[in-house]
């Protein structure tokens, strides 16, 4: 493409994946990570997560306000780190997850966030429909709460049988869920991640076309999921070029082609397209982020006008 990618997308970074030490919501490293992203003009958006300390959160909010970055809030660590399940069959446990997600909405509002993303919880085949109903209850209540604060709610599509084993899940079930949600709420959408598509045994073409009316946010990254014995197998979001990885320049290029063909290049109101990349073991986070930029730059350069 001859035109800049920044015309059509707000390129973002999931700060708590690139700098995983901050995912627990503690420590001044949070501010250091935000500052790195805010001072890098490559990025138009940042995805943050919980910050447990009120004073630290206030400092972060001031930095984000000055930065002119679009801010999105990822509540995934708040569920995964506590073992909470938004579709738990026991009502008291489901309510705990709902309350946690409402706290995420509160923090997102304080940080200047426009949206909150989360994931469905684990499930069992014999109780799949009951879990689906529980997830609808949680999400509808969350959307009601978020609407009062002008916050958009997004459900991220994950694998259903490898790592997170999340109810949502395969694209057809995600489409059914989003359709049910849109009958009652207009502040709900789906988030898809190129890293997760190989893990659901689907293709970008199939996923994007199946979910097209509901897609509001995109992630790109890598995964190792073909060989269960491979180093890093599962939902680890390794850097591009990692041994045994499923995604690199060619797969990012194909994903961009699909998004272009399906009408997601929007100069008037660009979608957020964020890197979800994570250092493996002792890898340096800044090198992993630079790697991701190079891959996206190369894929964009190869994309036909």
Instruction: Assign residue 189 the CATH number of its domain.
Output: 3.20.20.150
Q: Report the distance separating Cα 104 and Cα 117, nearest Å.
A: 9
| pLDDT for residue 93 | 98
Asked if 52 and 29 touch (Cβ cutoff 8 Å), the reply is no
Is the N-terminal amide bond of 159 cis, ω within 30° of 0?
Answer: no
Tokens (6 digits) for 271: 């979608």
Tokens (6 digits) for 30: 């949070």
Q: Report the distance separating Cα 52 and Cα 234, nearest Å.
A: 28
| pLDDT for residue 233 | 95
pLDDT per 10-residue tile (average), the chain, 305 residues: 97 98 96 98 98 98 98 97 97 98 98 98 96 98 97 97 94 98 98 97 98 98 95 95 97 98 98 98 98 98 96
Q: Report the distance separating Cα 274 and Cα 255, nearest Å.
A: 13
| pLDDT for residue 198 | 96
| pLDDT for residue 125 | 94
**Per the structure, how many domains does the chain have?**
1
Angle (nearest 5°) at CA 38 between 223 and 70: 75
Hunting for tokens 């990570």 — which residue is that? 33
Q: Report the distance separating Cα 98 and Cα 85, nearest Å.
A: 9
| pLDDT for residue 284 | 98
Sign for the CA dihedral angle at 195, 199, 202, 206 comes to: negative
For residue 292, what are the domain limits? Answer: 5-302
Quote the distance between the C-alpha of residue 267 and its chain's center.
22
Asked if 242 and 224 touch (Cβ cutoff 8 Å), the reply is yes
Please name which of 40, 28, 30 lies closest in space to residue 293, comparing C-alpha atoms.
40
β-strands 45-48, 70-74: how paired? parallel
Q: Report the distance separating Cα 66 and Cα 241, nearest Å.
A: 35
| pLDDT for residue 108 | 98
Q: Report the distance separating Cα 141 and Cα 149, nearest Å.
A: 13
């Amino acid at each position: 493409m001859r035109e800049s990618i920044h015309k059509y997308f707000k390129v973002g970074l999931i700060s708590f994946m690139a700098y995983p030490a901050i995912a627990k919501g503690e420590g001044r490293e949070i501010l250091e990570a935000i500052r790195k992203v805010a001072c890098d003009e490559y990025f138009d958006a940042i995805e943050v997560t919980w910050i447990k300390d009120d004073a630290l959160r206030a400092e972060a909010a001031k930095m984000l306000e000055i930065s002119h970055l679009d801010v999105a809030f990822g509540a995934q660590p708040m569920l995964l780190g506590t073992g909470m399940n938004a579709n738990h069959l026991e009502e008291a446990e489901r309510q705990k997850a709902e309350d946690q997600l409402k706290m995420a909405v509160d923090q997102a509002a304080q940080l200047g966030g426009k949206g909150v993303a989360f994931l469905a919880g684990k499930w069992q085949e014999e109780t799949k429909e009951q879990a689906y109903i529980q997830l609808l209850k949680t999400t509808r209540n969350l959307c009601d709460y978020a609407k009062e604060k002008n916050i958009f709610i997004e459900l991220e599509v994950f694998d259903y049988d490898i790592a997170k084993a999340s109810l949502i899940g395969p694209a057809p079930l995600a489409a059914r869920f989003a359709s049910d949600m849109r009958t009652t709420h207009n502040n709900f959408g789906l988030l898809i991640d190129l890293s997760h598509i190989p893990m659901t045994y689907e293709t970008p073409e199939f996923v994007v076309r199946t979910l097209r009316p509901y897609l509001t946010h995109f992630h790109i990254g890598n995964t190792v999921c073909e060989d269960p014995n491979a180093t890093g197998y599962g939902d680890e979001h390794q850097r591009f070029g990692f041994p045994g990885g499923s995604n690199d320049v060619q797969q990012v290029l194909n994903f961009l082609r699909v998004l272009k063909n399906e009408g997601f290049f929007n100069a008037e109101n660009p979608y957020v397209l964020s890197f979800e990349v994570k250092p493996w073991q002792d890898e340096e986070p800044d090198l992993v982020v630079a790697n991701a930029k190079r891959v996206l730059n190369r894929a964009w350069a190869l994309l036909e006008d």
